[in-house]
Amino acid sequence: MAIADTPVASPRPRLIWFAVGVALLAYAVLGNYLVLPGYRRFLEGGSPNEGQSGVDFALIWGATRTIVWMMSFHVGAFCLAIAALAAQGDAIRTFRRWFAIGALVWLGLWTVPSIPGPYTILFALLGMLILVMIVLIFGRATLNAARTGSHFSAFRGGHWQVASYFFFALATWDLCGLGSVGGMLDPDGAVRAANQSLMVAQTTKLIIEILIAWGLLAVAAFPRATSHRR
């Protein structure tokens, strides 16, 4: 039975996922005005209570708000992706489950603040892999459409594309963060100097997210071997 012919589950769960995702994305935007200024001040001058005895509750509260803000877009994008996959019904339940596991594992790895590097050879190799995937995707879409008349979205299923959109979304937001929070556009600034290790880690995560996104899209470009059998 084709995915399009399968019964669609109740819309309520996916609407809840979608609403939560939108709310988290809204907080990610508002955090630029509510959280980011304090985080910048901390990077430049440290905590105002530094050196004093006792628990620094201001630092704990500020750190909590910052962590929630930093994760809000990623968790929000995850909720939106789950909503989109849930809309495709039970036919892709297994895919949805494995996507959720893989996405949550990546979100856990994403929180690691510092990793070894930078390794320019890593970026060069991943860049070449991405280039190959780009050629495969556009080549497959061109040749298959010319031969069979099938559109790209009809190849393996929209769920693979939704998974790729999730990682494209993460990469897009992370790139914005490198230019704002990371101070990438101001290499001589105090924020940029304080964030050097974070810059290395986030740039490495960014190229990996782009690689995963293009990889999932490449999988979506190739139909199953049985897709044209009668």
> Per-residue pLDDT tens for 125-152?
999 999 999 998 888 878 766 565 555 5
Give the burial class of 154: count Cβ atoms within 10 A of its Cβ; 0-12 exposed, 13-18 middle, 19 or more buried.
Answer: middle
Q: Are 72 and 25 in contact (CB under 8 A)?
A: yes
pLDDT score of 208 more than 90: yes
* Range from 117-126, 153-162, 180-189 carrying the lowest mean pLDDT: 180-189
Q: Are 221 and 140 in contact (CB under 8 A)?
A: yes
What integer pLDDT is reported at residue 155 of this predicted model?
60
Q: Are 72 and 31 in contact (CB under 8 A)?
A: yes
225 vs 108 pLDDT, higher one: 108
List C-alpha distances in Å: 167 to 45, 104, 136, 206: 34, 12, 19, 9
Q: Are 23 and 91 in contact (CB under 8 A)?
A: no
What integer pLDDT is reported at residue 40 of this predicted model?
60
pTM for this structure?
0.77
Angle at 98 (CA atoms; ends 94, 110), nearest 5 degrees: 160
Task: Pick the closest to residue 83 from 162, 167, 3 (CA basis).
Answer: 162
What integer pLDDT is reported at residue 130 of this predicted model?
95
